[in-house]
Chains A and B, each alone.
Chain A
Amino acid sequence: MSGESMITVKDLRKVFKTKFGDLVAVDNINFEIRRGEIFGLVGESGSGKSTIGSMIVGTYPPTSGSITFQDGRDISKSYKFRSQELKREIQLVFQDPGGSLNPRKTIRQILSVPLQLFSDKHLSKSELDERLEKALLKVDLPTEYLDKYPRAIGGGEKQLVCIARALAADPSFIVLDEPTSALDVSIQAKITNKLIELQKENGISYLFITHNLCLVRNMCHRLAIMYLGNICEFAETAEFFERPLHPYTQMLLASIPVVSDEEEKLKPQKIHSVGEIPSPLNKPSGCSFHPRCPYKMDICAEKVPEMREITPGHFACCHML
């Protein structure tokens, strides 16, 4: 893997104005995604992981901070202010494949859009057909599917069409927002393997947003754990699962229901899940995890811990470390 950076996120902050006051969705986010890397962003609902994904694809701009793409192009602006080239380079796959395909259009019509939109010249009908078939073959779907409607195919196949649609633009970076959480395990396995294979073939990078740590373990190179709008731990995958540092990530790992005794041994034993994730509208003072933390000290309620490098490449923010 080359060390070239794909996406660099610096001091990112997003505040949504609501009628109950300002909601700080994400705050103080710093990370870098390298070229050819699968980067996992893990957190429970409401932790702000999808907000980060949305800002990278440009659904809305950040309140402050910057996102830079590859060689320093600033992309911290919303979609309509981005160049056509940039729109092509960054693609998105949503969680619910049923909801992200237009039910009144055939797969052919759906896939034609990115092909024509991002092509440098006008495509003739035969050229378009050829590219459409190629796009479907990339995700192992038969070409007869082109004239089917989304309702006529299964959930896993719909998600494959979504992936084909993202790939049709020939991107260098794809944001995957929980791409398999609406699917059954047997189908999830197929989609995940396909995603890994496509990533290796095309050398693209992924931001993989999920709440499933087991999936991240088998798929991502590096990962960041989010809690209530902040990143609390950040490491290489293997290192992370060997030595989880932050109490929240230990709690998260301990709560995973597993299917074998070998996995049971890998889970932190001492810690148990207590409490619930508070509303982002009224965050606890200091470390936002302190009300649920079994190791909390006086300082935790007063001061926000800083992100520190504990071992090379392994960052965590906790006063205890």
Chain B
Amino acid sequence: MEDKYVLKLNNLSVSYKVYEGLLKVIPGLDMTVMAGQRVGLIGEAGCGKTTVLKTVASILQCPPAVIKYDALEVCGKKAEGKAGVRNVRKTVSMIFQDPSTSLNPTLKISTQMSDILKSQFPGQKREDYQRRMLESLQAVAMPAPERVLDSYPVQLSGGMRQRVCIAMSLMKDSEFILADEPTTALDVTIEEQILDLLDRLVREKNKSLILVSHALGAVRKITERLFVMYAGNIVETGPTRELFASPRHPYTIGLLAATPKLTGEGIADGIEGDIPSYLHPPQGCRFADRCPRKTDLCLEKAPVLEPVEEKPGWYVACHHAEGKVRP
């Protein structure tokens, strides 16, 4: 693989200013995505997945968010200063969770799609725009694209709306797609179609993808590298399938055990407790309170990502993980 980054994020910290004080959501996070890589980001509700994604796309509202990083580079563009941020916003495409609220209900699909084209490729003929819109709708296997262009979002089903959103994100011709739970609002049979579509499009055009989801199966299906987040930290990262087969971090282990399986051997008990308050996050490991392997060390010192033995590219942030390279 060529050594080209589409995303380089160093030492990101994000806090939100609220009435009660400062929510320290992300204390310090590094993330890199190579060109052509499909990356999954999983974790439960409220663990900061969307915050990371919005930071990468430079669309997080500040205030209330307070963002600090040493470096944020997206597709070779540095997000520094207002111009830099605008450049980053133009480079990435984002697909949101809820296709019914991410489209404007008062405008026809054609208006919303051509707005993107007009800003990305200004000064072209109307017919060219029309042709491009039809092409991108055909690329997402949309039945009757002409009719769809002439409809309002309410006239389309959830699956079709999500196809429109994907088509819109493809029109920008960006190398880097950020998908924030694109299938959570959809039924399983439609979910499969949308995931297959996303997978095919990303592979065909050799784009990079970050797929954020709490559906472990969806991430396993189309990504090759996985980041597991818990309470604003990346606790484990590695090749997706191998990681699913033998997770090392107690949180990942618990999460996978709690997922009901088709094989039907019953469900493990889940993980006791809740994500800690971001107002006063624990000083040590943020998972310690819910962890079966907790010791005094965990309460004192926050673990950092360390490589796993004989597994290149596999890192885990736990004092007691198995097979970790001991310093």
Residues of A at the B interface (CB closer than 8 Å) are 44-45, 154, 184-190, 192-193, 211-215, 217-219, 237-238, 241, 251-263, 266-267, 272-274, 276-277
Contacts and interface: CB of A to CB of B under 8 A. Distances in A.
A257 B192 contact: yes
Interface string B189-227: 111110100000000000000000011111011000000
A13 to B, nearest CB: 24
A255 B255 CA distance: 21
A193 B255 contact: no
A44 B216 contact: no
B217 A256 contact: yes
Contact of A274 (B193, B257, B265, B267): B193
Given A185-B214, A186-B254, A257 B195 contact: yes
A262 B160 CA distance: 32
Contacts of A241: 262, 264
A213 B217 contact: no
A190 B274 CA distance: 12
B188 A252 contact: yes
Contacts of A257: 191-192, 195, 215-218, 220-221
A190 B254 CA distance: 12
Given A184-B44, A185-B255, A258-B217, A214 B189 contact: no
A256 B188 contact: yes
A255 B192 contact: yes
Closest 4 CB pairs of A and B: A257-B217, A189-B270, A255-B192, A189-B258
A277 B187 contact: yes
B260 A217 contact: yes
B259 A185 contact: yes
Of the candidates B216, B261, B267, B269, the one having the most CB atoms from chain A within 10 angstroms of its own CB is B267
Nearest to B215: A257
A197 to B, nearest CB: 11
5 contacts: A188-B270, A189-B257, A189-B268, A211-B187, A273-B192
Nearest to B251: A186
B18 interface: no
Given A185-B255, A257-B195, A257-B218, A193 B264 contact: no
A260 B244 contact: yes
A252 B220 CA distance: 18
A186 B271 contact: yes
B263 A262 contact: yes
B167 to A, nearest CB: 16
Contacts of B272: 190
A212 B187 CA distance: 10
Given A185-B258, A192-B267, A218-B264, A259 B244 contact: yes
A20 B182 CA distance: 31
B266 A218 contact: yes
Contact of A193 (B160, B216, B270): B270
A208 B260 CA distance: 15
Contacts of A211: 187-188
A186 B190 contact: no
Nearest to B187: A44
B299 interface: no
A267 B44 CA distance: 26
Given A186-B254, A189-B270, A252 B261 contact: no
B87 to A, nearest CB: 35
Contact of A263 (B45, B190, B261, B270): B261
Nearest to A216: B260
Nearest to B185: A45
A50 to B, nearest CB: 14
Contacts of B270: 185-190, 193
Given A190-B270, A273-B189, A260 B261 contact: yes
Contacts of A187: 270
Nearest to A153: B274
Interface in B140-157: 157
A75 to B, nearest CB: 30
A179 to B, nearest CB: 13
Nearest to B262: A263
B159 interface: yes
Given A215-B260, A261-B245, A266-B263, A193 B269 contact: yes
B189 A218 contact: no
B200 to A, nearest CB: 13
Contact of B217 (A186, A193, A215, A259): A259
B110 to A, nearest CB: 22
Given A217-B261, A257-B217, A266-B262, A184 B45 contact: yes
B256 interface: yes
A255 B189 contact: yes
B258 A214 contact: no
A257 B256 CA distance: 13
B261 A259 contact: yes
Given A185-B216, A189-B270, 6 more contacts: A214-B262, A241-B262, A257-B195, A259-B256, A266-B263, A274-B193
A273 B187 CA distance: 11
B267 A218 contact: yes
A192 B263 contact: no
Given A193-B270, A255-B188, A184 B214 contact: yes
B262 A213 contact: yes
A284 to B, nearest CB: 15
Contact of A186 (B189, B258, B261): B258
B262 A254 contact: no
B192 A254 contact: yes
B266 to A, nearest CB: 6
Nearest to B188: A255
Interface string B157-184: 1011000000000000000000000000
A205 B255 CA distance: 29
A55 to B, nearest CB: 23
A186 B255 contact: yes
B262 A256 contact: yes
Contacts of A261: 245
